[in-house]
Amino acid sequence: MTKTIGFIGLGNMGGPMAANLVKAGHQVRVFDLQQSAMAHLAELGAVKADSARQAAQQADVVISMLPAGKHVDSLYLGEQGLIDCLSSQTLVIDCSTIDAETAQRVGQQLAQKGIAFIDAPVSGGTAGAQAGTLTFIVGGEITAFDNAQSVLQCMGKNIFHAGGHGAGQIAKICNNMLLSILMAGTAEALQMGIDNGLDPKVLSDIMLQSSGRNWTLELYNPCPDVMPNVPSSKSYQGGFMVDLMKKDLGLAMDTANKSQSTTPMGALAQSLYKLHSLQGNGKLDFSSIFKLYSSHQD
Ligand code: NAD
């Protein structure tokens, strides 16, 4: 069934996600602070809104895909917050990766007004957003989860219910902490092989068929020119920014502190990504952590 969807935040992820909703035949009203992002979606058939409120008013579903918790908090609960203009018929889906507390607070405050909310952060990167094959990791009431299925299926392939409000964010942050460790470890192993005369493509093929196999070797090799069409072979442009991974590792460490969990590998990965960002690489894709290991060869 065709739905009216308000989509807010049309960046590297939100842009292609909104495009897939248009392709699926939904009426999509878009808003972003960047005019160019809205213009691109309008060319594909979406309607440009003048404000987040205009995009959200009388929508069946509102989706947000913003950088961090402060943006999500302000969008829904701030001075001009959507909480005052949404109807109790609207389903709100926040796909941003943010702290679980903000997701819980927004979810609870919307619930007090009878508005259903799920946190639904994603995994799969920009390629998954474009192909419509994202994994959604959902926190919230099961009825809201069920109601979101038909819309999420236009943008993703695997849809998991992790638990109540905020549980999607906790699961997502566990995944990204592991991903950062795998990426740094893979870069470290590849560079040691190169330093000892190995061809990184040959070494990657060997590790892919050995016990070091992991997602970064399969789909996102950090060493330039080992794989086509990945950020490492495009000067680390596009993809998932170092500064966003740095943000996620901050969220992971805050979560670990609160739950008194022991996360030495996550803490080390956080230091590595912080250092890498401080060296001026914050806007590059996170696989550029490889440069931290390879720079002695420059
Ligand atoms: P991005 O910086 O490319 O996009 C964010 C967009 O939000 C920008 O276009 C910006 O103009 C817009 N924006 C910011 N504040 C706004 C506001 N108040 N109103 C309207 N628009 C506003 O970021 P991204 O890579 O698309 O990531 C978005 C979220 O998805 C982040 O939380 C990130 O951690 C998460 N994520 C990213 C990836 C990835 O591979 N890029 C993968 C999984 C999850």
- Name the residue with the closest Cα to ligand 1, atom 1: 11
Structure confidence at residue 295 as a pLDDT band (50, 70, 90): confident
Extract the tokens encoding 11.
């960046």
Q: How far apart are CA 104 and CA 83, in angstroms?
A: 14
pLDDT in tens, 270-294: 999 999 999 999 999 999 999 999 9
Domains parsed from the chain with CATH numbers: 4-164 (3.40.50.720), 170-297 (1.10.1040.10)
Extract the tokens encoding 247.
């943000």
Show the CA angle centred on residue 43, arms to residues 37 and 48, nearest 5°.
Answer: 60
Q: How far apart are CA 250 and CA 139, in angstroms?
A: 20
- Find the 74 Cα to ligand 1 centroid distance in Å: 14
Q: What is the distance of C-alpha 40 from the center of its chain?
A: 20
Share of the chain above pLDDT 90, in %: 96
Q: Which residue has the tokens 């330039």?
A: 224
Q: How far apart are CA 244 and CA 167, in angstroms?
A: 20
Residue among 179, 210, 209, 207 at smallest CA distance from 191: 207
Structure confidence at residue 238 as a pLDDT band (50, 70, 90): confident
The predicted pLDDT at position 297 comes to 62
Instruction: Specify whether the CB–CB gap between 31 and 38 falls below 8 A.
Output: yes
The predicted pLDDT at position 298 comes to 59
Residue 108 has pLDDT above 70, yes or no: yes
Extract the tokens encoding 7.
């989509």
pLDDT in tens, 51-61: 999 999 999 99
Residue 96 has pLDDT above 70, yes or no: yes
Residue among 201, 240, 280 at smallest CA distance from 291: 280
Substitution site in 123, 130, 244 for ligand 1 pocket (most atoms within 8 Å of beta carbon): 244
